[in-house]
């Protein structure tokens, strides 16, 4: 089975999750996640060699509907909860680095 989760992995997962953790949180979560994952290992007692994975319980595959234009929320409602906006846009910090020369 997978090796026990350590602080380096917790930091990596935090980065993937876009969660800035404090050192104290890294330490706390490492212990707690380790305990939870130890418990979860219990699943390995079961032989699942010929078992299909079940992602959800309904016998649904594709659900089709008519391709018809319907009313949408509109700009004002859509932007109504934006933390920052600029006219008709969501406003965010610059995403391109000026120094890249691109």
Residues lying near another protein in the complex (CB under 8 A): 1-2, 5, 9-10, 13-21, 25, 29, 32-33, 35-37, 39-46, 48, 51-58, 60, 63, 65, 73, 77-78, 80-84, 90, 92-95
Q: Output the smallest distance, CB 67 to another protein, in A.
A: 13
Residues in a beta bridge with 85: 90
Token pair of 91 as six digits: 């406003």
CA–CA distance, 51 with 41 (Å, rounded to integer) = 18
Token pair of 54 as six digits: 């079940």
CA–CA distance, 18 with 82 (Å, rounded to integer) = 19
Quick one: 81 or 101, whose CB is closer to another protein? 81
Q: Output the smallest distance, CB 29 to another protein, in A.
A: 6
């Amino acid at each position: 089975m997978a090796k026990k989760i350590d602080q380096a992995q917790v930091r990596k997962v935090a980065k993937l999750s876009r969660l800035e953790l404090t050192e104290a949180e890294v330490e706390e979560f490492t212990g707690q996640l380790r305990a939870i994952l130890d418990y979860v290992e219990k699943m390995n007692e079961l032989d699942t060699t010929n078992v299909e994975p079940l992602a959800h319980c309904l016998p649904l595959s594709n659900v089709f509907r008519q391709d018809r234009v319907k009313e949408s929320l509109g700009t004002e409602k859509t932007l109504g909860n934006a933390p920052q906006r600029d006219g008709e846009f969501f406003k965010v910090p610059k995403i391109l680095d000026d120094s890249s020369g691109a």
